[in-house]
């Protein structure tokens, strides 16, 4: 049955991407890299799993509902990733100690929550993101 | 091996193992942002599990639960990051 093969392939790739997202969640060394995992790999994996159920129920109401779920996840994953990344930058979550550079250093102001385009190094306005030296 | 057996014995254990790995990060996570991210990812994995369940048991009404869970995941992440940003650090 060709439909079963299509569903099996879609579910296999979806579960594989979700498993890769979970392994990345364990193995990634930094909060910001974990945000990157949760907004790309897991979104693709769940999209493929929902497409498998879309193929199985060849019925217009269930198919449109699964399509709405896929569209909603694809729209809201970047928004929530940006919000949680911004909040974790403000509360001073440390970068990985092998990070090469921090493009936002000195640009987000701590008290006014304003994004400047030039580096402003007054120390009471900035959040400290110094490297965490392997501990914690 | 039928499709239902394949989904039940291979795909669902893989998804459950990934949910368990994400839950370990939820327990262990160094900062509170890690816990929020792993909670969001656990709900997203739950949406995938519900989609596979609706194929196995041929219940299309389970997709309603997946839609509500997607809404709740987005709302909880937005609300938690909003209050996390407004919190004054001592």
Q: Measure CA of the first residue to CA of the last residue in chain A; give whole Å.
A: 53
Within 8 A by CB and 6+ apart from B59, the residues are B53
CA angle B21/B23/B26 to nearest 5° reads 120
Chain-chain contact of A83 with B40 (C-beta, under 8 angstroms): no
Q: Does residue A31 share a domain with residue A74?
A: yes
In a domain, residue B90? The reply is no
Q: Does residue A116 share a domain with residue A52?
A: no
pTM: 0.86
Q: Note whether B44 and A10 are within 8 A (CB).
A: no
Q: What is the per-residue pLDDT for A93?
A: 80
Q: What is the pLDDT of residues B39-82, one digit of tens each?
A: 999 999 999 999 999 999 998 899 999 999 999 999 999 999 98
Q: Does residue A19 share a domain with residue A65?
A: yes
Q: Does residue A103 share a domain with residue A81?
A: no
DSSP, collapsed to helix, strand or coil, labels residue A28 as coil
> Among A61-75, A90-104, A115-129, where is mean pLDDT lowest?
A115-129
Q: What is the per-residue pLDDT for A136?
A: 39
Chain-chain contact of B60 with A57 (C-beta, under 8 angstroms): yes
Angle between helices B32-56 and A31-56 (to 10 degrees): 10
What's the ipTM? 0.90
CA distances from A70 to A14, A81, A107, B59 (A): 13, 17, 35, 19
> Whole-angstrom Cα distance, residue B30 to residue B34?
7
Which tokens belong to A65? 């509902």
Q: Does residue A61 share a domain with residue A15?
A: yes
Q: What is the pLDDT of residues A82-98, one digit of tens each?
A: 999 888 888 878 888 77
Shortest distance, CA B81 to any CA of chain A (angstroms): 5
**Which residues from A are below 8 Å from B25, CB to CB?**
25-26, 34
Domain count, chain B: 1
Q: Note whether A69 and A52 are within 8 A (CB).
A: no
Tell me which residue range forms the domain holding A86: 2-90
């Amino acid at each position: 049955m060709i439909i079963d093969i299509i569903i099996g392939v879609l579910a296999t790739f979806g579960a594989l991407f979700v498993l890769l997202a979970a392994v990345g969640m364990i193995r990634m060394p930094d909060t910001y890299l974990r945000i990157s995992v949760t907004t790309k790999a897991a979104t693709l994996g769940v999209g493929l799993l929902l497409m498998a159920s879309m193929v199985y129920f060849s019925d217009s109401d269930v198919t449109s509902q699964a399509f709405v779920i896929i569209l909603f996840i694809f729209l809201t994953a970047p928004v929530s990733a940006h919000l949680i990344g911004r909040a974790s930058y403000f509360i001073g979550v440390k970068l990985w100690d092998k990070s090469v550079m921090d493009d936002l250093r000195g640009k987000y102001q701590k008290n006014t929550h304003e994004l400047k385009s030039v580096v402003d190094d007054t120390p009471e306005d900035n959040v400290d993101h110094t490297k965490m030296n392997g501990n914690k | 091996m039928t499709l239902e057996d394949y989904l039940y014995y291979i795909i669902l254990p893989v998804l459950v193992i990934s949910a368990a790995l994400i839950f370990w990060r939820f327990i262990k996570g160094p900062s509170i942002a890690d816990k929020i991210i792993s909670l969001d990812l656990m709900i997203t994995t739950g949406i995938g599990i519900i989609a596979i369940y609706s194929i196995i048991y041929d219940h299309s009404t389970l997709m309603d639960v997946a839609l509500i869970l997607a809404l709740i995941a987005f709302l909880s992440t937005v609300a938690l990051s909003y209050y996390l940003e407004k919190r004054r650090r001592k």
